[in-house]
Structure 1
Amino acid sequence: YVWNISFNDNHHLNNLTDQELNSFVSPKLTLYGHTSTVTCICVSTELDLVVSGSLDGTCNIYTVEHGIYVRTLRPMGDPIVNLQLSNERHILIQTEKDDTHLFLYTINGGLIRTKKLEYKIVDMLLSDQHIILAVNHMSLPQPTNNSVVARIVIKHMFEMKTMQTIRLRTQINCLYFTKDFSHLLVGVKDGKLIVLTAEKKSLSKHVAKNNQM
């Protein structure tokens, strides 16, 4: 579904009852096309695109405004577990079955690059020049304070070559970029938020860990 959210006054969502919330949020469009469970969705109002991935191995592209079907991407038939859509009109798809694969497409359906990975991806982000991957290692029987149990892998978007690896002593839950791509937020399993700062468009060269909160 594509939903409309409309505000006529200064109501705050967290103060609304279920009945009041239903008056603000209403379904606008229903999108069809997958034959199995939808696992991931990305929306860009700037590009007027909705991109969805499914266990059926397909990635469908629609318009946001009118829900018009655009095209279907079929990387290799394996279940799609994650995808990212960049403002530069690229789609990054992660499939996972026996192996983990990444596929980089243009929104026009052109396949730019594919890569098989030797590790499982927890989360991923796509910026204008980089792919950011979160990877957790297998839990150690007796971890120490210096044990590396996770890493953030920074890859060149088009070549998919590793440019930098940031090692962490706690496992990762999720990644998030701030709006201007100046900070990478890393949610970790010990309840902290790690903030990585970077010079814009030079993420791999200027990474420094800020205070953990």
Structure 2
Amino acid sequence: MEGVNADYFVRVVERRAGAELRIKQRSAGDVGCVVWDAALVLAKYLETSAFYRVGLHSFTGKSVVELGSGTGLVGLMASVLGAHVTVTDLEELQGLLNTNINDNKHLVTGSIQAKVLKWGESVKHLPPEPDYILVADCIYYEQSLEPLLWTMKELAGTNSCILCCYEERTMGNNPKIEIRFFELLQSDFDIEEIPVDRHDEEYRSEDIHILHIKRKIHH
């Protein structure tokens, strides 16, 4: 970590090929202001998948929407890998998102833009049925589960691949919230967990799970 000024500090994220990503984080603020471990694990998994063509396909030219982007690391990694990315979060996080986009735009080989999105509200301003929907460390508030799942359902087409990464937490209400999330998720989506041995060799943990989620086709 390196100091930037009193308000920001930088997280350097190395890549398999090419220059590192430099992600500014706020030294004070709520959940969206720092790079969480699940975001790191998912970002590095995207790079591994694209680089080695493991399981998924190249991100080149694909449309991607990230939900709850926070600092924007995961969406930035997808755009560096050639995707056309829309990172989304609340109004108060747009400044941080756009700062990180501007700081890393020289690495982007696709495209990236930030848009305001509050879960549970209209997604008409976002690309419809994107190839990939990315969700990192968004399972923590019980009251946000239904709006998040509604948003996922509204965005996802039958061919959309949702990659959801979360850290399993045992404190307080977290286990109950995770159980509820899966109860709600299973009514509309099929879920497959990506084995840990397919995550990045360095950026992995038994407590951090990556899910490959697809919309169920109801006949």
**Fold similarity call, TM over 0.5:** no
Higher relative contact order (CA 8 A, sep 6+): 2
